[in-house]
Amino acid sequence: MTPPVKENDLIYVQVEPLKSIVTETFKLRGCSSKEASRIAERLSGANLRGHDSHGVIRVSRYVDYLREGKQIANVTAEIITETDILAVIDGKFGFGQTVGEQAVDIGIKKAKASGIAITALQNAGHLGRIGDWAERAAAADLVSIHMVNVRGSLMVAPFGGIDRRMSTSPFCAGIPLNDGDDPIILDMATSVVAEGKALVALKGGKPLPEDAIVTETGAITGDPKPLYGDTKQGEFPHPSNGSGALRTFGNHKGSGLNFLMEMMAGALTGSGCAGTVNEPQRRFCNGMFSMYFSPDAFGHSENSFVSEVKAYVEFLKSSRPTEVDGEVLIPGEKEKQVMVERLKSGLPLAPEAWEDILKTAQEAGLKQSNIDSILNSQ
Ligand code: NAD
């Protein structure tokens, strides 16, 4: 296995050794082996697909969450209300990688039995890349829709506003192609970018779009600094320190969709919205409202759903590209392209992000000699 390589101011780390270091870090911090490897798998999987914002850059923040009791190791989610097609599930602040998986599996089981199902997950730890959950449902041949909010994470200003009143609230849907092809996955924050992408930009990675941030005076900028404020030497940048805000995508339309996420994932699930006037600082968690549909329940003859989807994809992609060398992509296609590249090149990390991962591993008790042997021997 190639050890980390420095190129164009980035460190390229192969996914397997990176997963081992992250797994060992969380084991040393009290997670079971299974939970630690789930966290490592999901975080590195986000990097593999190009969503660095939801990848291993989160390791030190997750460790902080554990230490502060914001997230709890080795939790089993609990069904608190249920019918044949509905489950309201309490994630009890367990790791999203664990309680998210458990909630999705409940939804899959019910949809397999009844054709459709809804799960309302409350109080989940950070659920990471929501596409993971649509992919899990698609692997069981189910269409799924996931609406997510982030309680206690005021990061986004509503359209026309300056002050943070919203979270980055992702929307996600998965369409299975049960003929062996990869599912189609739409997975997007309702802010111009996910917060972690601002963190990646702050740490020297890919710059933000010019309309991503609104400053405290109402100016619009692509500079991530107003979101984080000043970070003291040795401290990890935190968006709660900034006076600016992320903006919603698509102006009033994205703002409206974000509002809907708060209604479904925050209010309807019982998880709670991003904040209230009386309680602007709520305890951090993800809420997730998910719907699962079996195409079979809609009376499709064998494979007629998949053939219609594929015929439409072919039609859509036949639109002439605006750029000379451009290509019209369907949701999830970009991620697949990035994954092919990164499985070869390794995961590109800003040096500061890589150092942060190593420091977090060492602080958890992983010896430098162990890190070296992981990096050089796999
Ligand atoms: P993004 O903007 O990179 O992609 C959004 C969607 O657009 C994807 O489905 C992608 O396949 C598609 N896409 C990208 N380029 C395209 C192109 N050229 N043509 C057509 N489609 C294209 O993603 P994002 O909004 O920055 O979200 C990043 C991640 O952050 C997601 O995985 C999301 O689930 C996650 N997130 C999680 C939380 C949480 O609280 N757990 C909060 C916010 C975001």
62-103 residue pLDDT tens: 999 999 999 999 999 999 999 999 999 999 999 999 999 999
Phi, psi for 295 (deg, rounded to 5)? -55, -30
Same domain, 166 and 124: yes
- How many Å lie between the centroid of ligand 1 and the Cα of residue 188? 3
pLDDT attached to residue 240: 86
Same domain, 93 and 44: no
**pLDDT confidence bin for 378, thresholds 50/70/90:** low
The letter for the amino acid at 19 is K
Angle subtended by helix axes 96-114 and 131-139, to nearest 10 = 40
Q: Is the CB of 334 under 6 A from ligand 1?
A: yes
Same domain, 172 and 49: no
What are the DSSP E strand ranges found in the chain?
5-7, 10-13, 78-82, 86-90, 116-124, 143-151, 156-157, 171-175, 184-188, 213-214, 220-221, 245-247, 285-293, 347-349
Same domain, 38 and 103: no
Same domain, 127 and 174: yes
Inform me whether the pLDDT recorded for 1 exceeds 70: no
pLDDT attached to residue 179: 76
Phi, psi for 276 (deg, rounded to 5)? -140, 170
Task: Point out the ligand 1 atom lying closest to the alpha carbon of residue 188.
Answer: 25
**Residue 129 covered by a domain:** yes
Task: Point out the ligand 1 atom lying closest to the alpha carbon of residue 195.
Answer: 43
Task: Point out the ligand 1 atom lying closest to the alpha carbon of residue 328.
Answer: 19
Comparing 39-53, 119-133, 197-211, 212-226, the range with the smallest average pLDDT is: 197-211
**Residue 341 covered by a domain:** no
- How many Å lie between the centroid of ligand 1 and the Cα of residue 194? 8
**Tokens matching residue 67:** 């230490």
Q: How far is CA 327 from the centre of its chain?
A: 25
Q: Give every CB contact of residue 138 below 8 A, 6+ residues apart in sequence.
A: 144, 174, 175, 176, 183, 185
- How many Å lie between the centroid of ligand 1 and the Cα of residue 116? 26
Whole-angstrom distance, CA of residue 189 vs CA of residue 214: 17
pLDDT digits (tens, 9 = 90+) for 303-350: 899 999 999 999 999 999 999 999 999 999 999 999 999 999 999 998
**Residue 277 covered by a domain:** yes
Q: How many domains does the chain have?
A: 2
Find the domain containing 43 and state its range.
Answer: 5-71+346-376
Same domain, 127 and 161: yes
Same domain, 120 and 92: yes
Q: Is the CB of 49 under 6 A from ligand 1?
A: no
Whole-angstrom distance, CA of residue 239 vs CA of residue 248: 16
Q: Is the CB of 27 under 6 A from ligand 1?
A: no
**Residue 114 covered by a domain:** yes
CATH of the domain at 364: 1.10.1530.10
Q: Is the CB of 54 under 6 A from ligand 1?
A: yes
Q: Using the structure block, give the residue that is written with the tokens 């590249």.
A: 341
Same domain, 132 and 39: no
Same domain, 88 and 107: yes
CATH of the domain at 147: 3.30.1370.60
**Residue 183 covered by a domain:** yes
Mutational test site, ligand 1, from 71, 187, 288, max ligand atoms within 8 Å of CB: 187
- How many Å lie between the centroid of ligand 1 and the Cα of residue 149? 15
Sheet with 347-349, edge to edge strand ranges? 5-7, 10-13, 347-349
Distances (CA, A) of 267 to 101, 110, 234, 274, 286: 22, 23, 38, 10, 12
Same domain, 181 and 262: yes
- How many Å lie between the centroid of ligand 1 and the Cα of residue 14? 23
Q: Is the CB of 146 under 6 A from ligand 1?
A: no
pLDDT digits (tens, 9 = 90+) for 195-224: 888 987 887 878 999 999 999 999 999 999
- How many Å lie between the centroid of ligand 1 and the Cα of residue 307? 26
Alpha helix positions (H), 49-130:
59-68, 96-114
DSSP one-letter code for 248? B
- Which one of 237, 271, 298 terminates a domain? 298
**Residue 103 covered by a domain:** yes
- Which one of 298, 316, 332 terminates a domain? 298
- Round the average pLDDT of the chain to a whole number and report it: 95
- Which one of 267, 283, 298 terminates a domain? 298
User: Strands 143-151, 220-221: parallel, antiparallel or unpaired by DSSP?
Assistant: unpaired
**Tokens matching residue 114:** 């009844």
Q: Is the CB of 170 under 6 A from ligand 1?
A: yes
Q: Is the CB of 51 under 6 A from ligand 1?
A: yes
pLDDT attached to residue 204: 81
Same domain, 136 and 87: yes
Q: Is the CB of 121 under 6 A from ligand 1?
A: no
- Of all residues in the chain, the percent with pLDDT exceeding 70 is 99
CB 123 within 8 Å of CB 156: no
**Residue 165 covered by a domain:** yes
Q: Is the CB of 332 under 6 A from ligand 1?
A: yes
Inform me whether the pLDDT recorded for 161 exceeds 90: yes
Alpha helix positions (H), 83-191:
96-114, 131-139
**Residue 203 covered by a domain:** no
Same domain, 48 and 167: no
pLDDT attached to residue 352: 86
